[in-house]
Amino acid sequence: MRLRKNSKIWACAVVCLVIAQAVASVLFAKSYRLTAITGWIEFALMVSASLAFARNAFSSSRQQRLVWALMGVGYAIEACSQIVWIHWQLVVKQAPAMSLGDAGIYLAWTALILAFALRPHAELTTQHQRLGTLDLLLLLLWGLYLYLFLVIPWQYLAPELQSYGPAYKYLALAQDMILLSIVLHGWLRSSGRWRHFYVLLTVIVAVDTVMEYFVDTLSGVDLYFSGSWCNSLAVAGLAGMTYAALMVDGLEPVSEHGDPVSERYWRWASRLAAPTTLFLPVLAAWSFLDHSLPASVWKFRVLLSLGAIVVFGFVGIVKQARLERELAHANDELLDASLTDLLTGVRNRRFFANSIQAEVQQVLRSFAANAAPDLHNRDLVFYLIDIDHFKRVNDQFGHKIGDQVLVEVARRINSAARLSDAVVRWGGEEFLLLSRCTNREEAHIVAKRVLDVVGTRPHRVEGSGEEMRITCSIGWAVFPWMETDPKLVPYDQVVTLADYALYQAKGSGRNRAVGLLPEGKTVRGGTVAPAIFINGIPSSPVTTLGPQIGEISAPSSSTPAKTAAASATS
């Protein structure tokens, strides 16, 4: 396996420590010197593994950072526990049968289990059901609860080695089996360098599990001592952890999107933490009913279980609240997506259908509450905007360029609209600008602004360097139609008037806006044209011209002749 240059030096130093331990185990018999050499070599390798995983955390993606940080913390805790053992073996010169260092080792392996449960090789996406922070917290609390429930009473409340030993032994064995199953699953579900990583971890955890059994058996017959061949295998396992960390330094996770096995794993992993709370009352009842336990033990276990129920319940409530917020956010995103045009990013007709009644009622309330004729900015103006000669764009440049034109026109209309306005893709190359809280006497100004922003600057054709001139035609009408009788003409009839005005704009030369106001109304800067009747409604048209050819930015000198033709026919 290829490593970086500095990683190779690191790996060589680790190998030298393994060789030194093997040589010491052969040359020295059971002695203070051998115990010291073994203790400090194991400490150095624990620190090495912690630093190696911590380095991965600094150089990896955000997703993997938590994985490597947990592994680094795990081996840092184990290194602290090793210091405790060195103190007892080298300073006190008597290793206790029950030590606080055991708790450190248990906590360290709990951190490793949580880290590998996050599967560092898999790229997590929003589609995956994955372990969240609160799920990890629940699993960590569950592990701590089991240690406090099974081991601590026999160490401090009613010290008893016969009960402490088996409790710690089987709890540690359960940890080993859980970790072994997780890394074995990673081996089966990974490939390439990640598979090599998991193969090495599987071998290390399997050997460590077997060695724990042998050490426990040999210690019972006084055949185990610090520095024996068992420690050489343990040292090799610690060195293997450093090498494993160096092996995947900078290695990106692989995507498992759509993999049913991966989906099933994350789904069950995220659900595993919550049901553990159900065991707490059972364990509390068992402790209360077991009359063979010392009073101090069963009281401690009952109180511990009741406290754990409160803590687990609180975490569960926080998790449920977070899930509800995430669900509400997801629903909002889905709703927003259902009301948005996929191509242009502006609103669609469903948005218009869902919101128009509220807009209309707001306008009617405004007019009903304030009947004074001099109040402004109460009107609702419908602008129907159609791209001129859009079919020619598709025929000459293709539908891909046509889609780009639609996107660009939608962007330009948005830039001309106010924050209170809404831009809707009405259909095909047609858009609706819904202008809220505006003044009918200035409605033609907004139309002029849209004409200018769409038609003043040419559109560059992607991939060819060519430029085309895009113009639009606009028809608009105002709601309510009659200020003195707001309900006389419904809003859908006003939209029909705007549609008629659009056809008037296209029929009279395009690149212009035609608006309709009630007969006799004026606009700022001039008067409207003589009244015409539309569906029996007397209306006065207001015409606003778009930017002329001389106002258009000239194409670049490198523009081919084809551009001029496109501009002329657009």
E strands in 194-344: 254-255
Range list of β-strands (E), 8-77: none
Q: What is the DSSP letter of 277?
A: G
Q: Say which residues have a Cβ less than 8 Å from residue 289's Cβ, sequence separation at least 6.
A: none
144 contacts: CB under 8 Å, gap ≥ 6: 107, 110
Q: Which of 500, 476, 508 is nearest to 388 (CA)?
A: 508
DSSP code string of 387-453: ETTHHHHHHHH-HHHHHHHHHHHHHHHHHHS-TT-EEEEEETTEEEEEEEEE-GGGHHHHHHHHHHH
Pairing type for strands 472-479 and 532-534 reads unpaired
CB 528 within 8 A of CB 522: yes
- Which of these, 337, 354, 521, lies nearest to 444 by C-alpha position? 521
Catalytic residue, chosen from 78, 429, 466, 467, is 429
Can you give the length of the chain in residues?
570
Tell me the C-alpha distance between 105 and 109, whole Å: 6
φ/ψ of residue 68, rounded to 5: -65, -35
551 catalytically annotated: no
Chain position carrying tokens 């084809």: 562
Q: Which residues are part of the catalytic machinery?
A: 429
